[in-house]
Amino acid sequence: MNQYVTGTVIKELREKNKMTQLQLAEKLGVSDKCVSKWETLRGLPDITLLEPIAEALRVSVTELISGNTIHNTNVSANMLRSKFYVCPICGNVIHTMGEAAIHCHGIQLMPLEAEETDEHHMIFIERVEDEYYVRIDHSMTKQHYISFVAAVSSDDMQMVKLYPEGNAEARFKIRRVKRLFFYCNRDGLFSIDPIKGIDDKESGYDDSQERRELEKAAEYLFG
């Protein structure tokens, strides 16, 4: 572990919970002088106290150590509040329905911010019976590729993991899908409303002629 809880974090969380040093001490079975030492940086709590401190201050041990508290609005969360995290070391993809403290390979991961698709990340969407056929016009080399594509509704999330030198395409059951996401290992996360992706074929990207030709090819191969 390369981080440890600080007295500053303990003090901030204690005050946030409207607790005195004595009240916290009583919950932990230590003296208020002990808590005071922690908060004035004259000592550190024993590692065996980390879980009791986190429980008393209503945070997870991870939040306690990192100093980053999660404002939990996830009780009524749905899939449309989805957040994606990608580890830069191993490429691990993690999905949550709201805020979370996520670590991988000793790194705290930040949620990816999705951008609207652009002419360098063109996505082609076709409705085929009860599915969306999704294809992304993107290189799939070992150095530059699409890592995953996901389709999100209010109560469901479908994800397809992609790999270098494979095809940047996927099929999803429509099932009230409201948003499509895909992740480029160099340029980050992109998203689009699937209906807009279907309806806005002429003006969605700069080179609409190239898009039409690619769509014809896709229809011939997969239609």
Q: 203: how many CB neighbours lie within 10 A of its CB?
A: 8
Query: Distance between CA atoms of 137 and 139, rounded to whole angstroms?
Result: 7
List the CATH number of the domain containing 19.
1.10.260.40
pLDDT digits (tens, 9 = 90+) for 46-87: 888 989 999 999 888 877 887 766 555 554 456 778 899 999
50 contact partners, CB below 8 Å, separation of at least 6: 5, 61, 64, 65
The pLDDT confidence band at residue 1, using thresholds 50, 70 and 90, is very low
Domains of the chain: total: 3
214 contact partners, CB below 8 Å, separation of at least 6: 124, 135, 137
Task: Answer yes or no: is pLDDT of 222 > 90.
Answer: no
pLDDT digits (tens, 9 = 90+) for 169-210: 999 999 889 999 999 998 999 999 998 777 655 444 444 455
Mean pLDDT along residues 161-174: 94
* Percent above pLDDT 70 for the chain: 83
The amino acid at residue 49 is L
Q: Supply the mean pLDDT for the chain.
A: 84
The answer to whether residue 37 sits within a structural domain is yes
Burial label for 159, CB within 10 Å (0-12, 13-18, 19+), is: middle
Q: Do 85 and 52 have their domain in common? A: no
Which one is predicted more confidently, 41 or 63? 41
pLDDT digits (tens, 9 = 90+) for 16-34: 999 999 999 999 999 999 9
Question: What SS3 class is residue 160?
Answer: strand
Among 138, 124, 139, smallest CA distance to 211 is for 124
| Containing structural domain, residue 62 | 7-66
Contact yes or no for 56/28 (Cβ under 8 A):
yes
Query: Distance between CA atoms of 176 and 155, rounded to whole angstroms?
Result: 9
What pLDDT does 199 receive? Answer: 61
Task: Answer yes or no: is pLDDT of 3 > 80.
Answer: no
Task: Answer yes or no: is pLDDT of 143 > 50.
Answer: yes
Query: Distance between CA atoms of 197 and 174, rounded to whole angstroms?
Result: 14
Q: Do 55 and 86 have their domain in common? A: no
Q: Do 149 and 130 have their domain in common? A: yes
Q: Which residues of 206-216 are buried (b: 16+ CB within 10 A; e: fewer)?
A: eeeeebeeebe
What pLDDT does 206 receive? Answer: 46
The answer to whether residue 1 sits within a structural domain is no
Strands 131-137 and 169-173: antiparallel
List the CATH number of the domain containing 185.
2.60.40.730
Q: Do 119 and 215 have their domain in common? A: yes
What pLDDT does 168 receive? Answer: 95
The pLDDT confidence band at residue 118, using thresholds 50, 70 and 90, is confident
